[in-house]
Each structure stands twice: as structure tokens, then as C-alpha cells.
Amino acid sequence: MISELLFTAIVLAVGVERLLELRVARRHAQWSFARGGVESGAGHYPVMVVLHTGLLIGALIEVWVRRPEAPLLLALPMLLLAIGAQVLRWWCIRTLGPQWNTRVIIVPGLPLVQGGPYRWMSHPNYVAVVIEGAALPLIHGAWITALVFTLANIPLMVVRIRTENRALRSLPGPPPERPTGRPGG
């Protein structure tokens, strides 16, 4: 079993990673807006921030209050999945370069990115979000947080993906239904 302190350190590390993402996103947003970028779906962004923050806080509260025990047979695979989600997320960020953002910002005239994980799927970053949302809390058996986040994330992902696909229709290249790079996705 992983101790509460070790779990807290893991969640805090993910929180630091999120802050780094936001720093990168701010820099990329400036780059995009300087090139005529247009933001779509700003209304759902605060909901996404609250939900993702709630995942981290909820997992910590559940572990420290409810004190569930996760056997190593569950904890280790969940830890590996959470790490894998981070690797996939940063692969997306690296592949999209300055076109990646936590917001939906489209720069007119830029082609769709079709390399990296976008070779195989349309929204690999959201695959990382889904995996992390379930795996991170389950490292220490916080199944309530994993379930609540997963259920709350479904309608958000529907809105987010529809928003991105609509925005991407304005770009040259294959239609968004095919595997292509997306800001944040």
C-alpha cells in the first residue's frame, strides 16, 4: 500500500505539472493571438478548471478523511497509468508546439498537425485526461473521486470536443473527424 504522505506528494507533483502546463498555455496563447488566433468555447473553460482542480483536491480529501487502502496490486498499475497519461499529455504538447493550449485557440491559415499521437487518434490529450482522472485517485483507492470526476468529465468532454471540431473546420487539411492535431486535444 502507498502511504497517505506518498500519495499526497504524487498529487502535489501533478499539481505542479498543471501549473507548468498553464505557463506553457499562456505563452502559446500570446503566440496564437499575435498571429490572429481566435478563441472558441471560452464559456466552458472555467468549468474545466474547477473540475480538474477538484480532481486533485477531492483525491486528497478522500484519502485523508476516508483513509481507503489500495493494495499494491491496484496502486502500482494505477501509478503507471497516471505516469503514462502525463507522458502522453507532454507528447501532445510537444507535437503541437505553440498550437497546443488549454483553451481552444485556432490560428487561421495553419495546417492541422498530423504527427506524433495525432497520427493515430483525434484527441490524444483527452485520452490522457480520462486515464489520469480514473488512475490518479485509484493509486490510493479514492474510488469516489475517480467516479465523480469521470462522470462529471463526460459532458465537459462532449462540449469541448464539439467546440474544437467546429473551430478546426476553418483550417486547411482533412476534416476534424480524421486523426489530426488539435489545440489542447
C-alpha cell at 111: 495546417
C-alpha cell at 78: 494505477
- CATH number of the domain where residue 11 is located: 1.20.120.1630
Place of cell 485517485: 137
Task: Render pLDDT for 6-47 as a digit per residue (tens, 0 to 9).
Answer: 999 999 999 999 999 999 999 999 999 999 999 999 999 999
C-alpha cell at 6: 506518498
| Residue 62 in domain | yes
| Residue 185 in domain | no
| Residue 145 in domain | yes
| Residue 180 in domain | no
Q: What is the pLDDT of residue 23?
A: 98
Task: Render pLDDT for 116-174 as a digit per residue (tens, 0 to 9).
Answer: 999 999 999 999 999 999 999 999 999 999 999 999 999 999 999 999 999 988 776 55
| Residue 144 in domain | yes
Which structural domain range is residue 30 located in? 4-168
Task: Render pLDDT for 57-71 as a digit per residue (tens, 0 to 9).
Answer: 999 999 999 999 889
| Residue 47 in domain | yes
| Residue 176 in domain | no
Q: What is the end-to-end Cα distance of the chain in Å, rounded? A: 34
Q: What is the pLDDT of residue 14?
A: 98
